[in-house]
Structure 1
Amino acid sequence: MKKISITKLSLACLFAAVVFIQSCKVGQKYSQPELNLPDQYRGDTLAYFGDTTSISKTTWKQFFHDPTLKSLIDSALSNNFDMKTALLNIEIANKDLRRNKLDYLPQVDMTIAGANKQWRSKEFGSGPSSKWYERHGTKASENMFTYLSQFGTEIGFNWEIDIWGKIANSKDQLLAQYLNTREAKNAIQTQIVSDVAKGYFNLLMLDAKIEVAKRNVQLNDSTLQMIKLQYEAGEITSLAIQQTESQRLIAASLIPELEREIILQENALRVLTGQMPDSIQRGTSFEHLFAENKDISLGSPLEIIRNRPDIRTAEYDLIAANAAANIQQAMRYPSLTLGGNLGVNAMLPKNWFSIPGALLGGITGELTAPIFKNKTLKTNWEVAKIEREKSELALQQTVVEAVSEVSGAVITVDKLREQLEFARLRVENSAKAVRNANLLFRSGYATYLEVITAQGNALNSDLALVELRQEHLESYVDLYRALGGGWR
C-alpha cells in the first residue's frame, strides 16, 4: 500500500471535497434483466373462470371455504417450526441491515487504562528514560534500565470515507438479503398452506374410501347369503361360496389399511401444526372446500414475477450479487481514512490527570491505494461479475420453470375435470351392472361369476372416483401455489 501524508490544510480541503463526491458509487446500477415472458400461459382455457381478480391475489382465507381446513392452516402458520425459524432469520437480517447504517460513522475505541513499560541493556545502543530516573532520584543501571514508561487513557477514532460507495453497496446487498429472508418466509408459508390443504383433502378421501370399502363389504355379505341359500338348495357348488368370500375379503382388507393411512396422515398434519400426534377434526362435507368465486382469473405471466416468492428470491439474489460485484470493484480504488486520538499520558500513573501537562492529541489522514496485490483484487472483481451472471441465469431459469409449472397446473386442472366426468359415469354404470347382475342371478340368467365381477368393478370404480376427486382438489391447490398464492 502507498501512503501519502497530508497537512492540516490539505486535510480540510480534502474533507470538503469528499462531501461532494460521497455519492459517487462505482459499479453497475441494478436493472431487471429481460425475462421474455409470454402474453398468456399455455393451456389458459379455464372458461369457468372470469377475467378480473387473479387467483394469486386471493388470500388463502378467501381461497379456502372449509372452516376446519382454515383453522388447521392458521394453526400451522402460527406453530410450524420452519415458519418460526424463517421469522428468526428475518430478525437476524433486519439487525444486520440496521447495523449497516452505522458504517457511515467513525469507529471509536477507548483505552481505559494503558501501561507500557520496557527495559533495555547497555548493548541496546540508546539511553534510559532519563526523566523517569530523575523523578525517582536514582541513577540508571547499565543493564535492564527502564527505557520506556508510559501510563495513559485515551479515546481514538477511525473513519473511512465512503468515496466509492462501498458502504452504500453493502447496504444494497444487506437490504436484498433482508428482503430475501422475507420471501423465504413467504415461500415456506405457501408450502405450508399447500401441504396442510393436501393433507386435509387426503384425510377426507381416505374417509370416503373406507365408506366405499364398508359399503362393498355389506354388498358382498348380502351376495354371500344369497349364494349360500342356492348352495343349500343344490343349485351351485361350494366354489361359488369360496370365490364370493374371497371377493368380500378383498374389500374388508382395505379397511385396516386405510385406517393405518388415516393415522399416519393425521400425525403428519399435526407435525405441520407443531403439535404432538393426535386425531384431526374433519368438516362435514368435501364438496365445497373452495370458495365459490367466478370473478377470478389466472392473471398474466407478468404477475407471477411480483407474486411468486421463489422468483422474488432469485431476483434479490441477483441484486445482492450485483452489489457484491460493485463492492469488489470499489476495493480496487484508493480509500481515504481519517483518524485521531485524545487522552492523557504520563510516565507515572499519578500524573495522568495533571491537566494540561498530561494531555495528548493527534489527528491523521491517509489516502491509500493498492499497487500490487498479486492480482487478488482484480480476480475477486472478475469472479464477482461471473457470480452476478450466474444469479441472472438462475433468475431467468426460475421464471421459465414457474411459467411452465403454471401451464402444467392449468392443463392438469382441466383434464382432471374431464376425467372426473368419465369416472362418475363409470360409477353409475357399475352400480347398474351390480343391480342387474343380482336380478339376473336370482332369475337364473347370470352366473355367480358375473355377480362377483360386477361387484369388483363397482369397488374399483368407486375407489378410482374418490382418488380422482382428491387429485382434482389438489390440482387447484397446485395451481394456486404455482401462481404465487398462499402467502397473503
Structure 2
Amino acid sequence: MTTTKAVRLIALAAVGLTMQACGIPDMMTKKADTQLPEQFKQTPAEQNSSASVKWNEFFDDPNLLSLIDTAIANNKEINIALQRISMAQNEIQARKGAYMPFVSIGAAAGGDKTGKYTRNGAVEEGLPLANGQAFPAFLGDYQFGLFSTWEIDIWKKLRNAKQVAVLEYMASQEGRNFLLTNLVAEVAHSYYELIALDNQLENLAQNIAIQKNGLKIVEQLRIFARTNSLAVKRYQAEVAKNQARRYEIEQQITVVENRINTLLGRTPQPIQRSSKVFMDIKPKILSAGIPSQLLQNRPDIRKAEYELSAAELNIEVARANFYPSFGIKAGIGFEAFALKYLINTPESLAAMVAGELVAPLVNKNAITAEYKNANAKQIQAAYEYEQSIINAYAEVANQLSNIDKLNKNYQLKQQQVNSLVQSTGIANQLFKSARADYLEVLLTQRDALEAKKELIETKQKQFSAMVDLYKALGGGWQ
C-alpha cells in the first residue's frame, strides 16, 4: 500500500468515526437570571458602597483591629482554605500538562525459551547466527531508549479541561474571600457582645450597690420602727438575686472570650477590649450603593459565577468524549538479545512511530451519563448563582430595615431609662419621708435595671446590624 493510499484510508476512517459521533443526545442548558432592582427600597440610589472600604479602615477600635488581624493569620478554617487553593492551582498545572507530549526514558530486560516442538522452536532449531554460531536456547531481550506519547487535542477537550481548572481555582479564591468576610464579621460580633456583657456587669454592679445602700436604710428604719422585717427580707432577696445574676454574666463573658480565642486559632486567654466607652459611641452609617454592585462585591456571588462558568465549559469537555481521539506514539533507542550488542550502532538501533485513532462505537452509556451529568450540574450551578444573588439582596434589605428600626428603638429606650433613673431617685426620697412603700422603690429599681439592660442589648444589636450590613454588601475580605 502506498503512502497516499494510507493517508486516504486514515482520512476516511476519521470522517467515519466523526460522523458516528453525531448521535449526541440533545440537552438543555440554563442561562442565569442576574437582574436586580435599580436601588434598595430603604435608601436612595448611591454610587459608592461601603463594601469597598477595607476592614482595617472600617473598624476604629484598635483592640478589635488587632484581634481581626490575628484571626486572619491564625484561623484554622482560613489556613485550610489556603491549602484548597494550592490544590486547585496544582490541578491547573496537571491539566495543562495533559495536552503536551509525554516523553519518558526507560530500560527493560527479559528473556524467554521457546519450546522445541512449537513453530518458533522448530524455526530457531535450524537458524544459525553470524559466524556459524548456534541460536541460543535462552533468548534475551534488552531495551534502552526514549518513548513519547501525545494526544492531539483536536476537539479542545484537554484545553477546556485546563480552563475548567482555572475557573475552579478562581472560585476557590473567592471561597477564601467569603470565609474572610465571615471571619471578620464573627470576630466583630463576638467583640461587641463581649463589651456589651462588660457593660451589663457594670450596670448590675451599680444596681447592687444602690440596693445594698437601700438595705442599710431599711435596716435603720426598722430599728426606729419606721418599717418592718418584711421590707428587710425583700431587699436582701433582691440583692442576692442580682449577685447571682452577676455570676451568670461572668460565665457568659468567659464563653465569649473563648469563642474569640477559637476564631483566633489559639488557646483561651484574656481578650483586650475597650468597654467603658461602648454606650457613648455610635455605629457607623453605611452607604449601600446600588444592588448591581453586589455582583462584584460579594465573594459568594463571584464564587457561584466562576462555578457556573466551569460547569458550562465542562459540558464541552463531556461532549468531546463522543468524538474520536487522535494519538501519536514514538520511540527511539537500542534493542538486542545480549547486553554486549545493546549499544552497537547502527545494528542495535531501533525506532518506532505509530498513529492511533479511537472513538466510542458500542455501549456509550458511561460517556452519555457523564454528558447528562455535566448538563445537570450546569443547570444546578445556574440556580445556585441565582439563589446567591437573591440571598444577597435580601440580606442587605433586611439589615437596612433593621438599622432604621433599631435607631428608633434605641432613642425610645434611652428616654425610658432616663425616666426610670429619675423615678428611682424620687422613689427613694419618698420612701425616706414615709410617703412611698418599699415595694414601690424595689419595683422602680428593678424596672430601671431591666430598662438599662435592654438599652445595652439594643446598642449591641445596632453594632451587630452595622457589621451584618457591611458583610452583606460584600465588605470585610479586602
Q: Is the Cα–Cα contact under 8 Å of residues 283 and 466 in structure 2 kept in the other structure? A: no
Determine which of 94, 100, 106 is the counterpart of 1:105: 100
Give the match's secondary structure for 1:390: helix
In structure 1, the residue matched to 2:386 is 396
Which whole-Å CA distance do the structure 1 matches of 2:126 and 2:387 have between them? 75
In structure 1, the residue matched to 2:35 is 36
Residue 438 (structure 1) aligned with residue 432 (structure 2): no
**Structure 2 matches for 1:259-338, cutoff 5 A?**
259-283=250-274, 285-286=277-278, 297-338=287-328
Determine which of 182, 207, 227 is the counterpart of 1:216: 207
Distance change (3 Å), C-alpha of 1:302 and 1:122: same
Residue 176 (structure 1) aligned with residue 171 (structure 2): no
Q: Is the Cα–Cα contact under 8 Å of residues 328 and 380 in structure 1 kept in the other structure? A: yes
Residue 343 (structure 1) aligned with residue 333 (structure 2): yes
In structure 2, the residue matched to 1:80 is 75
Give the match's secondary structure for 1:69: helix
Residue 114 (structure 1) aligned with residue 108 (structure 2): yes
Give the match's secondary structure for 1:83: helix
Q: Is the Cα–Cα contact under 8 Å of residues 107 and 159 in structure 1 kept in the other structure? A: yes
**Alignment gaps of 5+ in structure 2:** 15-23
Q: Is the Cα–Cα contact under 8 Å of residues 318 and 374 in structure 2 kept in the other structure? A: yes
How far the C-alpha of 1:53 sits from its partner, in A, is 2.3
Q: Is the Cα–Cα contact under 8 Å of residues 161 and 335 in structure 1 kept in the other structure? A: yes
Distance change (3 Å), C-alpha of 1:321 and 1:132: farther
Deviations 1:77-104 (A, max 9, x none): 1111111111122122112213333233
Which whole-Å CA distance do the structure 2 matches of 1:200 and 1:53 have between them? 28
Determine which of 211, 217, 240 is the counterpart of 1:249: 240
Give the match's secondary structure for 2:463: helix
Which whole-Å CA distance do the structure 2 matches of 1:187 and 1:289 have between them? 29
Which whole-Å CA distance do the structure 2 matches of 1:452 and 1:136 have between them? 125
Deviations 1:353-405 (A, max 9, x none): 10111001111112222211343222321221111111111111111111111
How far the C-alpha of 1:427 sits from its partner, in A, is 0.7
Which whole-Å CA distance do the structure 2 matches of 1:192 and 1:471 have between them? 18
Q: Is the Cα–Cα contact under 8 Å of residues 30 and 382 in structure 2 kept in the other structure? A: no
Give the match's secondary structure for 1:338: strand
Deviations 1:428-465 (A, max 9, x none): 11101111111111122210000000010011011111
The one-letter amino acid of 2:451's match is: S
Which whole-Å CA distance do the structure 2 matches of 1:437 and 1:137 have between them? 131
* Structure 1 length-normalised TM: 0.88
Distance change (3 Å), C-alpha of 1:343 and 1:250: same
**What RMSD over aligned residues (CA atoms) do the two structures have, in Å?**
2.8
How far the C-alpha of 1:223 sits from its partner, in A, is 1.0
In structure 2, the residue matched to 1:459 is 449
Which whole-Å CA distance do the structure 1 matches of 2:98 and 2:5 have between them? 25
Deviations 1:259-290 (A, max 9, x none): 12112211211121122211011125325777
Residue 64 (structure 1) aligned with residue 59 (structure 2): yes
The one-letter amino acid of 1:354's match is: N
How far the C-alpha of 1:134 sits from its partner, in A, is 3.5
The one-letter amino acid of 1:115's match is: A
Q: Is the Cα–Cα contact under 8 Å of residues 115 and 152 in structure 1 kept in the other structure? A: yes
The one-letter amino acid of 2:75's match is: N
Residue 124 (structure 1) aligned with residue 118 (structure 2): yes
Which whole-Å CA distance do the structure 2 matches of 1:376 and 1:189 have between them? 40
In structure 2, the residue matched to 1:23 is none
In structure 2, the residue matched to 1:22 is none
Deviations 1:21-56 (A, max 9, x none): xxxxx999x9973222111224337xxxx9352011
In structure 1, the residue matched to 2:86 is 91
Which whole-Å CA distance do the structure 2 matches of 1:78 and 1:8 have between them? 67
Q: Is the Cα–Cα contact under 8 Å of residues 227 and 240 in structure 1 kept in the other structure? A: yes
Distance change (3 Å), C-alpha of 1:290 and 1:425: closer
Which whole-Å CA distance do the structure 2 matches of 1:214 and 1:136 have between them? 113
Q: Is the Cα–Cα contact under 8 Å of residues 210 and 254 in structure 1 kept in the other structure? A: no
Q: Is the Cα–Cα contact under 8 Å of residues 129 and 149 in structure 1 kept in the other structure? A: no
Which whole-Å CA distance do the structure 1 matches of 2:195 and 2:252 have between them? 12
In structure 1, the residue matched to 2:401 is 411
Q: How many residues align?
A: 461
In structure 1, the residue matched to 2:21 is none
Which whole-Å CA distance do the structure 1 matches of 2:146 and 2:343 have between them? 15
* Structure 2 length-normalised TM: 0.90
Distance change (3 Å), C-alpha of 1:69 and 1:395: same
Deviations 1:73-128 (A, max 9, x none): 011111111111111221221122133332331011221x2123122223433236
How far the C-alpha of 1:7 sits from its partner, in A, is 6.9
**Alignment gaps of 5+ in structure 1:** 18-25
Distance change (3 Å), C-alpha of 1:165 and 1:178: same
Q: Is the Cα–Cα contact under 8 Å of residues 116 and 125 in structure 2 kept in the other structure? A: no
Give the share of equivalent positions with the same residue, in percent: 30
Q: Is the Cα–Cα contact under 8 Å of residues 142 and 335 in structure 2 kept in the other structure? A: yes
Distance change (3 Å), C-alpha of 1:57 and 1:131: farther
Which whole-Å CA distance do the structure 1 matches of 2:364 and 2:47 have between them? 60
Distance change (3 Å), C-alpha of 1:451 and 1:215: same
Which whole-Å CA distance do the structure 2 matches of 1:361 and 1:7 have between them? 22
Residue 372 (structure 1) aligned with residue 366 (structure 2): no
Give the match's secondary structure for 1:353: coil
The one-letter amino acid of 2:120's match is: S
Which whole-Å CA distance do the structure 1 matches of 2:334 and 2:435 have between them? 118
